[in-house]
Structures are given as structure tokens and as C-alpha cells.
Structure 1
Amino acid sequence: MGPEMQFAGDRRGGWANVSEGRWQHLTRELDAAVLDASRWKNVCDALAAITGGAGTALIPFDRNHRGAWIIKSDAIGGLMETYVRDGWYKRDLREAAWPIMRRKGFATDFDLVDQDMMCRHPYYQDFLARGGASTFIGIHIPTQGDDWVAAIQLPAGAGTPGSHTIELLPRLRTKIADAVRSAQAMAASGVENWASFFEGTDRGIALLTRDGQINKMNAAAERLLMPFVGRGGEIKLGDPKAARQLTDLTGAACAVPPRSPLPPPVLLSLAPGKFLSFEAVPLPSGLRHFCSDLAAVLVVRMAATAVAEPHIALAERFRLTPSEARLALHIGSGTSVREAAGREGIAFETARSRLKAIYAKTGARRQSELALLVSKIGRTTGDLAG
């Protein structure tokens, strides 16, 4: 076995071995991540700094949720890309440590294998060693719907985690778990507040999980969707074409990142001149916490005629240019100006300039008012039936 690895800090041992500055930095990043999901990447960096790791990745236990859902430090970005691209996530030897993590809260490679096996096993030699990495420390993170692991990847040459390192892991886990619980509560509240912008007497609102299943519905959605919702929240449409289109739409909205542009709204014919319309809106990135299963909002309503493209309806109503209408949809759905600019492929300053024009034409003075306009405007070319 190699030498014992100590936590970054001084040599006094125990909790004192972590510098106060690094601990405060982790605390600040966890507090920020509770409010903004995009900050969990910073938490990964802070965990690596405390432990002397090369980087950290937040990885779901469920293989089906790996890939795009993994959050990682930039320093190990290449390693994690190889992990997904070359299928190593399907051959992750460390999965055998999941039961150990659930039982005691953390695990290391040395709970599974010895140094001799590491020298022979392809996972360590063909994947980790070639990526400049070696062993890891895994901290179990219980979340809603799935368990995750904070996988702190140690650099090449790191030895067995020392006793000072091991004794600090339970406290680190408690700190992360507290932040996760707070983030879950904030996410649920934030998503419901954001989704309320889309509500109306004629609209059903359903919150979708990352798998496209219904998590929660308002009363209007329950009334409209009752014949189509199966066990587990799956939407089952009798029309095969509409079913395929809806699967494509919800998959695009729930993807990470959401596909842009999204597919058009889906129409399900119920009777001559009577349609059920489905539109999906991805949650803003700041609300898409890894520890929350929520990913998008499904807006359902009765329509008397075919549904127009949303940006066309906006453009016609407020005399917006096509580019202004698309930006208004992004901003009105809760997306930040910077994120909307990225989706449209324009500069941030260009987006700000267009937003000023949008406010002038629509009469909105802030993002919440624009969201209300976007939610209330009829996205059909005809009247809506209640």
C-alpha cells in the first residue's frame, strides 16, 4: 500500500487538520448551492480543496441517470467525459461500494480491493491511470428519488486515505446532507412559484420529473389528464402519433441541457374541432437541482383549433420581431438573460438590448410581468375552450 493521504491543511490531526478558510469556503458554496442549482459545481471544487483531491463528481447511483446529470469539477472534466463516452459508467467497479456507503455513509477503494488488484484491474489501469487519477473517497448523499455519491477523485500516486481523513468524512457528509435537504425544500417551493406564472382557468399545470413522468398536477390538469395518466405518473395517449410526439417533447424539455429549440406543441384530437394541447417548458437552470427530480412543466389545455408556434403568437400580439419573440419566451419562462443569450447564440449585450425593446413593446417592466404575459397569451390560432 502507498503512504497515507492526509486532508489538506496543517499536521495537527483530526478536525484541526482542515484549515478554517477551506471549511468556511465549503460552507459558503453549500449555502449558495441551496439557492442556485448551478453552484453545485463550486461545491465539487470546494470538496476537492478540503480533501486534497484532484476533483469531485456528483454521480447518481442509478446508471440510467448518469451521463448528462453528472456534476463535476472542471479539473476532472476530461476523466468524466471518458467515463461516460467509453461506457466506463456501465463497468464501474466502485458500484460494489454503494451498499457500504448506504450503511456507514462513505467508502474508499480499499473497502473493495487491495493494491495488487488495482495494479491488474482494467478499471484502474485502462481508465483511471491513463486519466492521471488513482483512488477515490465516496460520500453517500441521500436525495429524493435516488441516492448520489460525492466521488472525490484522488490524484495519481495518492495512497491509502489516512485515519485523520476517515474521521472527518461523517462530518462532511452531514454538512452536505443538510444542504441537500434545504435545496430540496427550496427547489420544491421555487418550482411551484415559477410554475404558477403559467396557471390560468383554462390551463392544466403538471410538474415533470427528469424521466418525463408527472410528479404533481393542479386541479385543471387532473381534470384534463385523468383519462391519460397511468400508474407512476406516465402519460399514455391512445393516438400513437401524438404519443410519439409527446415523448419527444417531454424528453427534449427534461434533457440536460434542454434541447433548443423545443419541438412544437402536441395536439391530441378528442372530437371534430376539439383538441387537447400539450406544451412543455424546461425549468430554469437555477431550479434544476441534482437532488430534486423535477425538470420541466407541462402546460395542458383544451383548444378549438390547431396551435400556432408560441413565438409567432407573441410576435403577432405585441409586434415583436421573430428574434425578440423567441427571447421573450426564454425570459418569460424564467431563464436568465445570460442563459437565454446562450440558447439563442447571441451576445449577452445583444440580448439585453433586445429585452429593452421587448419591455417597451409589451409594457412589461420586469421579468415576472413578462412571464405573466407569456403565460396568459393564447398559443392557439383560435379561441380556447374551457
Structure 2
Amino acid sequence: MSDTQMHETIRALYEGVFDAEAWQRSLGALCQASGSVHAALVVLDTVHERVLVNQVVNQVPEEVAAYHEYYEAIDPALPFAPRMAVGSWYIDSRELGAYAMRQSPFYGEFFRQFGLSSLMACLVERKPHYEVFLSLQRPQGRDHYSPEDARALDWVIPHVRNAIALRDRTHQVSALAHASSQLMERLPFGVIVFQDDGKALLTNSIGEAWVRRLLPAVSIETSAAAMSATGLRQEEWRLSRPFAEALRAVSDPANPQPAQALRAVDGAGRQAQIILLPLPPAHHLAIDWQRPTVMVAIHEPGIAPVTLPAVLRDLYGLTPAETRLAMQLSSGIGLPEACELIGIRRETGRTQLKAIFTKTATGTQAQLAHLLTRLGVRG
């Protein structure tokens, strides 16, 4: 395989993170380089003890069906899988030998029926519940695979492993983003996630209308979308102080503050409350870890008041037990008294308080009490 072919094969693997067809090109190149007729990514489900074909080049549906219906149970390669190390190869002519291959119905019936002669497979990745193999098969009339054939493909295994990991991570992030979007849309108030420079990273439909009202310098497209969503003009709302000033204050790493609060009043005298909450870098909505990120919650008139437990649960991810402790501490009592009122041990209370500090980006009970007071919602 030439350097150009190797580079194309690697590039197609990483393109396959988003485009499964790109993996077909990469596997096809490996087929050609190794004199194989089939190449596949095979997943061995170690819980249910079954084999799943994830990607395959030159797939023959009848071959796959026959394998699952009967020949999987007598596949002589499967007993070797638990003993393999990640990155190592199974080579049938080495592990079984030519005599055993001739005597095996797997080769005499199954392989002969579909014009195959030899198989080798590399353990690419091992997870608690499954294993991933790169599997190649040679046609009849070709020599059996040898260790030299496996060594000639060793260079591609780290790239296959990295591409699989990137694709899995991409799918996880996509699923998390979808779940977060659904959760935000269910909230009865506007939510916007801002960077410290005023860039809106994420918003629900209620919060979208407020992006331009809070920072008039955002794009015209955002403003048009906001007004079309509400039918209101952003000039109808006046803020108690400039939003940019509050955003700078709450996202200043040199002088961290648990929260900032503003009031907005429209021409009819209606009031909306705007709460700015700094997000710790590990928060699931802190999208860009390189910059301070701020969550903005807008409580508009006419919407049922939001309870403090709901805010702590939905915006900060506090558990019910952590919420109960935070509510007790918001009244100004100390941790020992709060633990006694709730009926928990002090060690448990200290563990829960540590989790509360981490999730709310506070470091002391005074900061936590200040945050809860500034939230300005009904307890």
C-alpha cells in the first residue's frame, strides 16, 4: 500500500465519524491491500454472546444469514476472543493449523459455500459489555493469512480505535444535546446560556426573544427571530441596569459572584425578573470550557412563579436530598442544625453540602445563601 493510499485510508476512517459510508472506503482499501474479499467491523456482544456486523465491505446477505442461523455456534475463532489482547491478531492458519481447518465444517461447509479460504481478525477495542474486531476474509485460490499479513496492517489499528472512540463520543454528545434541549423547552421560563463576551450559545424558545432585548448588539437575524416569536418590540422593555455590566460582573474570574439580578419593565408596567448565574466549567450546559459561561433565567409576568427547589433541580442538577439541605441553609441556620432538622447525619450533610458547592459554583455557606437570596423565586 502506497503512502497516498495509507493517507486516504486514514482520512476516510476519521470522516466516518460523521459519515458511515466513508468507513466503507477505508475498509475497501484495506481489502485491496491485503488481498481480501471481505473486510468488516464486527462487534462481539459479550453479555448475550452474539456477533453483530457493524460495517462490512462486499457484504453477502446470504452469508451473514447463514452464519447467524447455524455457523456462529461452531465458529472456531470465537473461543480465542477472550484470550486476545487489544491490538493482537487472530490468524486461523496459525491458531488452528491447516489440518484442523480442512477438518472443520466451518471451513468445509460454510467457507467453501461462499468461496472463502481464510480469516484473520484484530481485537480493536474491549469494553465491559462488548468487543470490536477488524475482520478480513480471503477468497478461495489465495494463500491463507500469515503473521506477515497481520503485521502489514498493524499501522491502521490505532486509527480504527480512535475513529470508533470519536464516533461514540460524538453520538453521546448529540444525545446529551438533544436531551438538554428537550429539558430546556419544558421549563416555564426563558433560559439563555451566554459566554462572557455576550455570545448566546444556547437558548430555549422563551429565552430566544430576550437575546436582543438584553444585548442590542447581537445579530439582526436573532432580533428578527425574537420579534417574530413574540410579536413584541424589544424597545418595550427597560432594564434596571445594563445587562452587559451584570454579565461582566458575574463572569469575572478575579471576583466571582454567585448571581446577579435585574428587573425589566415594559411600557404597560409589567415586570420581568432576570437572573444571571455563573456556570462551573463541569456543568453540562457549560458548552465552551475555554471561557466563562453564564446561565440567564428570565421570569416573565403572567407565568406561574418558579419554586426554588425547581430552579435548583432544573438549572443546577441538585438531587432532592441536596435541595432539602440547601433550602434549610437558605434560612440562615448552620449545617449542624440543618442536618438535625432534616434527620441526617452530619457526615452525610457535609458530603451533600460539598456536592451543592460544586454544582452551584459556590464555596461557602455565605455564598450559597447569597445565591439563593438573589434567585428571587418563590421558596
Superposition TM-score, scaled by structure 1 size: 0.43
Superposition TM-score, scaled by structure 2 size: 0.44
Max radius of gyration: which structure?
Answer: 2
Higher helix share: 1
